[in-house]
Structure 1
Amino acid sequence: MSEIKGNLESDDKQPPIKKKSKMEESMKKWGIPLAITVGLLLFFMPTPEGMSAQAQSSIAIFTGALILWITTPIPIYLTSIMAILLLPLVGAVKDQSVAFGTLGYDVIWLMVSAFILTAAMIKSNLGRRLSLWMVTKFGKTPKTTLFLLIVINFILAFFVPSTTARATLMVPICLILLEVYKAIPGKSNLGKTMMLQGVQADAIATSGVMTATSGNIIAVGFINDQAGGNIGYMDWLLASMPTAIVTMLITFFVGLKLFSFKDETNFTSAMDTLKDELKKLGSFSLDEKKAVAIFIFTVVLWATGDYHKAWFGFEISTEQTAVLSALLCLLPRVGLLTWKETNIKWELMIFAAGAYAVGNALDKSKGAEWIIGKVVDALGLEQMNHALVYIVVVFLSMYSHLIFTSKTVRVTILIPAFIALAKTLGLDPVPLALAAAMTMTYTITLPPHSKVNTIYFGTGYFTVLDQVKYAVVTCFIGACVISLAIFTWFKVIGI
């Protein structure tokens, strides 16, 4: 491993260290006073009608933490620790276990397992072999490699019905590829783009396949039962996959513009060296064979989740599969790792725990629901032109993930509400609810908005602000494409 790294380092220059912009420096300087001021104003202002004191407290802490996570005047895990401490102190949660218990959430175990699987792929050289083969065979340039990873994400959406499982599969491959490209976490725009587009591709591909996440299936249930629709697997695929592909293509090129890496790597001259490195790996080692067996075992369990009950009499969840695979990597004789070699980033676990604690407080206190209700009333949807209603609903649904941290919660609250709204206005509720449902997987703006975001964020290649910038643009593009599809493509396919 060290020999390979040495050869690559001698052939490629390290990416230049990127200096912080004036805007970033200002955000760091004013982040703390801004967070304190906004948080205190929200906490001490008169409680609005219809909002509980508990909801007001959770909104104040959520907003303050959000400002600190984006401006990063202090490490993000310290913000999470403060949030976990404040939630029970100010009454945002009635039981302190709601805040302190988040470190035991399934997403934390998923992240631990992802680090272990990544370490196994690195130690065994399987990840390096796979990455070198991919790059020399298909990824002749960094851009084609990025596009290849997006294609793989879209293919996996058909076979692995879990966004987090797909992220856990893809992140190790991305990390090895970035090592090949000499990308440094926090400094490399190539690494930033690859990881952010991994987040985007996972979410957008999920929107195109009905069975790619349980939220889509729940939404279809509401549409068929409450709106009188007859949406099936192929109906969803025909309606949503074209919008997903168009959105991903546009955002792919947007990402290349937002985070340019033209001067970062001269990979063409290194291609011969990479081919030589692939040859030096020789035949498969015992550790590689073990890693392949564990990797295949993991993929098969994730891809066949719907059949476990019939086959085994019990279901093996995504999280259980990940932990089982991590256990196999660590078992003496069977596995190939020691605990010290796992390189688990515990500061990320603390950040995730705080993020989920704040999000849960917002949901449980009904603070998120109150905000959405006020937004709907403020927009005056009942008095709008019908065409405009479709567009506003799509955009509202798209950006609602800024408040709700759970796709299932969003689907459960918003889809029935939009169906009722359509019936009240005399609109066909099926296309309105379907279009809204297609936006539910775009939970891409902040790390705590989905487990996928958290897993990719854990690589250290992008900041919270980087994700916000790219995601706001991506969500806008996605909402525009879906809105346009309602008036064009939906009519073509008879929805």
Structure 2
Amino acid sequence: MRKLSQEALEIKRAEQAFDRKRKTIGMFGAPILAILIFFTPIGGLSVEAHKLLSIMVLVSLWWITEPVPIPVTSLIGPVLAVITGVVKASDAFAAFANPMIFLFMGGFILAKAMMLHGLDKRFSYWLLSMSWVGSNPRRIFLAIGLAAALCSGWVSNTATAAMMLPICLGLLGAIKDMMAANGKDIDLSDYKYATGLMLMTAYAASIGGVLTPIGTPPNLIMLGFLDQMANIHISFFEWMTWGFIAMVVYFVIAYVVLMKLFPPDVDKIEGAEEFIAQRTKELGEWTRAQKNTLFCFIVAVILWVTPGILSIALGTTSPVLTMYNRLFPEAIAAMAGALLLFIIPVDFSERKFTIKWDEAKDGIEWGTLILFGGGLAMGSMMYKTGLSAWVGDLIIGGLGGSVSQVSIVAIFSVLALLLAELTSHTAATNMIGPLAITAAMSAGLSPVPVCIGIALAASLGFMLPVSTPPNAIVYATGYIPITKMLHTGAIIDFIGIAFVTIPLVVYFVTWVVGI
């Protein structure tokens, strides 16, 4: 254990040294490069597009190197665009009022209420206490993954991983106690099943995010870009049609790979059922706050999926569907469910409602909202100034002038995956999204498949602790050697991108949208 701690300490020091160099290079190198581009004559660009190009270089490099917080960089771009005369302030900051922002905000508030009142834990323990799970380590492994994946479709992957971690640690403790009772003392830091269970928790939390538009920021970012730059709207229900398939296949791949690499060495975990039963009992009876939260969540989900049901039942041209979409777009559905939490009382005599603003505001990831708004703002300005068309033509020209749907999805999906491994997947999506859309449109192709491919690929960051917050959370337990995470993550990344992401978006998505 001491040796592992020393190894982890050395890795942490190396990461800190790398981050320091990365931030220093970005802090000074990005502005210098942006200024050089600003003063370099470039044919085919308007004055405004040329200015915006230099700003985009600065913003993109700072998103990658992070010399200042990513949300701050997201505000710097629109501010510089106004100062340099690219657009007016009203146009630069219009994206920060995009309905997608409020869809995310409503989702954050609903997720906070679910965590605040223990609805997420109640669901997880309910799943783990089902009769088919029992004390079988393989089934427990599967149930832990399912709970994490299904929760993270609605709650942030970070919160999901943090919630599941104590459950996993308790189960591993039961294994250690069982082994000790049989005269075998094990070191969990060098125990294969412990490593696999931790990795399953992290990977499933990221995989579940692809299920819904609000599951992870890249999903909504790409939907926002499609809406702004291509005037294409993808509904909540439509996303879930391919998000569900992607989640299931990704999950199966992760489960099979992890079970192969980290199999259990026992047939039964003595004490596992008792551990779960005790934790379930500690939750007590359903509270009024939990019932209220469940009701508000169901309201939002019903409003989200109703357009898909109406479309199937009445047809896409139905006036009823048109009216419904005008009255209850996704953002309104999310806010309706969230706002009900402040109205439905837990104890009206004491004026106590399901959630208070002080509680709700702590659950809203303001940095993510600012980053989202900044990305949409930069994408919108690229489109309006003609910079995106110029970049798209440049990319297509560099690829030989003729590209297929398969090749463009493959190129940008792989690029999204590589960037997501090294930097924030949200920032990576913000950088690649506008380029992919304009490249697809320049090639005469639909931008929908490549956008879905980027969003799905950005969720496959499994190789490094810094790739996603769930990775960092489970790595901090000391049960995962960095080499194991690198090796396992690389395998799942490769299989996922080559046999799921690209085929799914090229064939299934193109069929669904009728391309």
So what's the TM-score if we normalise by structure 2? Answer: 0.60
**Structure 2 equivalent of residue 392 of structure 1:** 407
CA distance in 2, matches of 1:244, 1:64: 35
Change in CA separation of 1:397 and 1:65 when aligned onto 2, cut-off 3 Å: closer
Cα deviation for residue 346 of structure 1 reads 2.7
Letter in 2 for 1:97: S
1:88 aligns with 2:82: yes
Change in CA separation of 1:28 and 1:348 when aligned onto 2, cut-off 3 Å: same
Change in CA separation of 1:404 and 1:151 when aligned onto 2, cut-off 3 Å: closer
1:34 aligns with 2:45: no
For residue 19 of structure 1, give the secondary structure of its aligned residue in structure 2: helix
RMSD (CA atoms): 5.3
Note the alpha carbon deviations across 1:127-152, whole angstroms, 9 max, x for none: 22112223444596785357426875
Q: Is the 8 A contact 2:157 2:205 kept in 1?
A: no
CA distance in 1, matches of 2:110, 2:33: 41
Deviates more, 1:403-412 or 1:310-319: 403-412
CA distance in 1, matches of 2:503, 2:248: 14
Change in CA separation of 1:355 and 1:135 when aligned onto 2, cut-off 3 Å: farther
**Structure 1 equivalent of residue 324 of structure 2:** 314
Letter in 2 for 1:318: E
Q: Is the 8 A contact 1:32 1:73 kept in 2?
A: yes
Q: Is the 8 A contact 1:397 1:414 kept in 2?
A: no
Q: Is the 8 A contact 1:363 1:404 kept in 2?
A: no
For residue 88 of structure 2, give the secondary structure of its aligned residue in structure 1: coil
**Structure 1 equivalent of residue 121 of structure 2:** 128
**Structure 2 equivalent of residue 380 of structure 1:** 400
- Counterparts of residues 470-481 of structure 1 (less than 5 Å): 474=493, 478=497
CA distance in 2, matches of 1:77, 1:216: 22
Share of identical aligned residues, percent? Answer: 21
For residue 330 of structure 1, give the secondary structure of its aligned residue in structure 2: coil
Letter in 1 for 2:50: Q
Aligned residue pairs total 396
Q: Is the 8 A contact 1:59 1:367 kept in 2?
A: yes
Corresponding residue to 1:351 among 338, 358, 371: 371
Change in CA separation of 1:252 and 1:372 when aligned onto 2, cut-off 3 Å: farther
Q: Is the 8 A contact 2:429 2:455 kept in 1?
A: no
Q: Is the 8 A contact 1:35 1:64 kept in 2?
A: yes
**Structure 1 equivalent of residue 452 of structure 2:** 441
For residue 74 of structure 1, give the secondary structure of its aligned residue in structure 2: coil
For residue 341 of structure 2, give the secondary structure of its aligned residue in structure 1: helix
Deviates more, 1:105-114 or 1:188-197: 188-197
CA distance in 1, matches of 2:505, 2:324: 41
CA distance in 2, matches of 1:381, 1:362: 22
**Structure 2 equivalent of residue 225 of structure 1:** none
Q: Is the 8 A contact 1:199 1:444 kept in 2?
A: no
Q: Is the 8 A contact 2:392 2:435 kept in 1?
A: no
CA distance in 2, matches of 1:30, 1:333: 53
**Structure 1 equivalent of residue 278 of structure 2:** 276
Corresponding residue to 2:388 among 346, 368, 382: 368
- Counterparts of residues 214-253 of structure 1 (less than 5 Å): none
CA distance in 1, matches of 2:282, 2:323: 46
Cα deviation for residue 296 of structure 1 reads 1.6
Corresponding residue to 2:73 among 66, 76, 79: 79
Note the alpha carbon deviations across 1:282-322, whole angstroms, 9 max, x for none: 22121111112112222111111243963895331111000
**Structure 2 equivalent of residue 197 of structure 1:** 207
Change in CA separation of 1:400 and 1:169 when aligned onto 2, cut-off 3 Å: closer
CA distance in 2, matches of 1:487, 1:320: 31
Q: Give ranges in structure 2 of 5+ residues lacking alignment.
A: 1-7, 171-197, 217-222, 233-240, 312-318, 347-352, 417-427, 460-465, 473-485, 509-514
CA distance in 2, matches of 1:389, 1:280: 56
1:102 aligns with 2:95: yes
CA distance in 1, matches of 2:433, 2:66: 26
Note the alpha carbon deviations across 1:345-391, whole angstroms, 9 max, x for none: 33333333222222222222221221121121122245xxxxx9675
